[in-house]
Structure 1
Amino acid sequence: MINKAPVRISILAMPETSASVVYGMYDMFMSAGRDWSLIVEGAPGPAPIAPQVVSCHGSSFVAGNHVRITPDATLDACAQSDVVCVPELMVPPGEPLDGRFREEIACLRQCHADGKILATACSGAILLAEAGLLDGLEATTHWAYCDLMTRRYPAIKVRSHRALVASGEGQRLIMAGGGTSWLDLALYLIARLAGIETAMQTARINLIDWHDIGQQPFARLARTRQVEDAVIARCQAWIAEHYAEPSPVSAMTQLSGLAERSFKRRFQHATGMSPLAYVHTLRLEEAKQMLESDRQPIEAIANEVGYEDAGFFSRLFRREVSLTPAEYRRRFGAMRDALRTTASCDASSGRVRA
């Protein structure tokens, strides 16, 4: 890459994006090739990537987290770029997008037609879906938007467990999952555009740990109560308090007053999940909280959330969360303990943390 012109990357900024992701990606791309030589050899190395921030009109604006972003150029600059990156959209799941982001979506369509790489972080993948570029392909997005993507764009093969997906001809459509998985996206692009060693050096400098377990362990039940179907909403309210009871699906069916087949069909239509899958999800969410916050034996937790067979619970947990219950406890229980200890120490010393 030393003797080649830098790869040009446009980072698309909008009022619905957060400055931390926009400029975090910018910094990562600028760091590649430059900072390792600066630290090891005392002089910055050649930059294999040239990032820029672009927006619809190119003028300064306040982003979703109230930080002012000053773009380098307008969307027209994407025509001269090799890669276009889309950060997350701070838009509530399910909020209509009709008529919004018209210029940005048109730009993405044109860039894809021109053979450019399109990469999205978090919920930014929704723009690729709106552009029709993901139909028939594998995709991922933030875990809170995966069900929305499945329902709104049924032609897309949503892979909710994966933190990174590369799809399409030449794998030119690249999507990272939720939260800080934009770091994975940036590292992937650096490896692809500037080489694996450059990506590894960038990861070492910035202390970045790859999200190899995917994003499912971080997920929470993202479905709000279904309000259009009053019968199903009543069942959801009931199961939220009684998920640990035996035969919960039968109990919900009886509560609904519907025939079993009709109930299951209406529940699936209303929530996007079968009644049994919904119960399992609620139980696993409660199990996550218990694994994080107390030291009960795993068998006791399984029983408390509604599973008499601890082996079945462990297998189900591993399948849905991508970690065993013990692995989840080690990872997130330790995190919660560390945060609790830090907060306690700060409180005892009179310090106030934001």
Structure 2
Amino acid sequence: MKVQTRAPVRIGILALPETSASVVYGMYDMFMSAGRDWGLIVEGAPGLAPIAPQVVSCHGASFVAANNVRITPHSTLAACVDADVVCVPELMVAPGEPLEGRFREEIECLRRCYADGKILATACSGAILLAEAGLLDGLEATTHWAYCDLMTRRYPSIRVRSHRALVASGDGQRLIMAGGGTSWLDLALYLIARLASVEIAMQTARINLVDWHDAGQQPFARLARTRQVEDAVIARCQAWIAEHYAQASPVAAMVQLSGLPERSFKRRFQQATGMSPMGYVHTLRLEEAKQMLESDHQPIEAIANEVGYEDAGFFSRLFRRNVSLTPAQYRRRFGTMRAALVKV
């Protein structure tokens, strides 16, 4: 008979009305599966569980979370005092939505837990709570790719690593952040490996068919920015370039359209969009190239030419730098996915 040699690691999963039940209970199921289900499948009897998760909320009462799913916590926020790790799932709030005065009790709890030496782990946009708590100042961080610009603007001292699906930061690497969407699976596996063992994490991944996001989250990100700007001149240029990004000398054409001196145009464009005019053109071109790589079988050289690049080698290097995959790798990964979904 297997004997438990040490007490299970206690993990509090913080549930809020703005969280999705799938992430809250997905984390819970993954942690419960660790060490237990492999023995059940391989040996016919459940193995010992090295992790003891529980769902906690501010007041412990049942509530309806995002997507109209009812969550019934095991305990109140006070239970985090006894936990070894506190996990924060994503927050279903729009990028840029005001947060002043919200989540006060949760933020104060996170501050206390970190000061007490606990590990804090966030999924997706949950990292915004760590930023609001001031725990990420001067540190590396990541969050869902759609919130990275917001984090950079709102918390300028944070070094946002938008391309990475997982970042461990802070004293003793006790601040752990996953990127967007299902990268919470990476977070759960990382915690299982760190708190239990790599072998148990691998077993959990095999049982649940979890594939590590080794290329990070950038391949999934939408590169082109659609932020509306208050500068009417620049907004008109944005609308024009959205239809003419493939033409030669696009920045010169926008300068002419704006009626401004070149230096003034570039300065105002940067101020309005957060990007240089040519950087903006590149993002539009690469986003269109991604769609073409997914949906048709043209040679990569032809796609490069169609979106505005005569030099296919330059296009491939630029694509790799911004998407973290080569065009061919992107086509294999997402073109195959799209084709399979079309057949369903």
TM-score by length of 1: 0.94
Q: Does 1:294 align with 2:320?
A: no
CA gap of 1:282–1:247, structure 2 versus 1, over 3 A, is: same
RMSD over aligned Cα atoms: 1.2
Listed one character per residue, the Cα deviations across residues 271-321 of structure 1 (whole Å, up to 9, x for unaligned) are: 221111111111100000000000111111001111011110001001111
Aligned to 2:17: 15
SS at match of 1:119: strand
Q: Does 1:158 align with 2:160?
A: yes
Q: Does 1:40 align with 2:46?
A: no
Shift of 1:261: 2.2
Unaligned stretches of 5+ residues in structure 1: 343-354
Moved >3 Å (runs of 4+): none
| Counterpart among 23, 27, 30 of residue 28 in structure 1 | 30
Q: Residue type of the partner of 1:262?
A: S
Q: Does 1:100 align with 2:116?
A: no
Q: Residue type of the partner of 1:101?
A: F
SS at match of 1:9: strand
SS at match of 1:239: helix
Aligned to 2:6: 4
Aligned to 1:336: 338
Shift of 1:259: 2.4
Aligned to 2:64: 62
Identity of aligned residues (%): 87
- Counterpart CA distance in 1 for 2:31 and 2:283 is 38
Q: Does 1:78 align with 2:72?
A: no
Aligned to 1:144: 146
Q: Residue type of the partner of 1:233?
A: A
Map 1:118-129 onto structure 2 (within 5 A): 118-129=120-131
- Counterpart CA distance in 2 for 1:266 and 1:57 is 48
Unaligned stretches of 5+ residues in structure 2: none
Q: Tell which deviates more after alignment, 261-270 or 308-317.
A: 261-270
Aligned to 2:254: 252
- Counterpart CA distance in 2 for 1:268 and 1:139 is 24
Shift of 1:222: 6.2
- Counterpart CA distance in 2 for 1:39 and 1:340 is 34
Q: Residue type of the partner of 1:203?
A: A
Aligned to 2:194: 192
SS at match of 2:99: coil
Map 1:267-286 onto structure 2 (within 5 A): 267-286=269-288
Listed one character per residue, the Cα deviations across residues 205-233 of structure 1 (whole Å, up to 9, x for unaligned) are: 10111000100111113633323222221
Aligned to 2:173: 171
- Counterpart CA distance in 1 for 2:276 and 2:119 is 37
| Counterpart among 87, 90, 107 of residue 89 in structure 2 | 87
SS at match of 1:8: strand
Shift of 1:100: 1.1
Aligned residues: 342
- Counterpart CA distance in 2 for 1:73 and 1:25 is 16
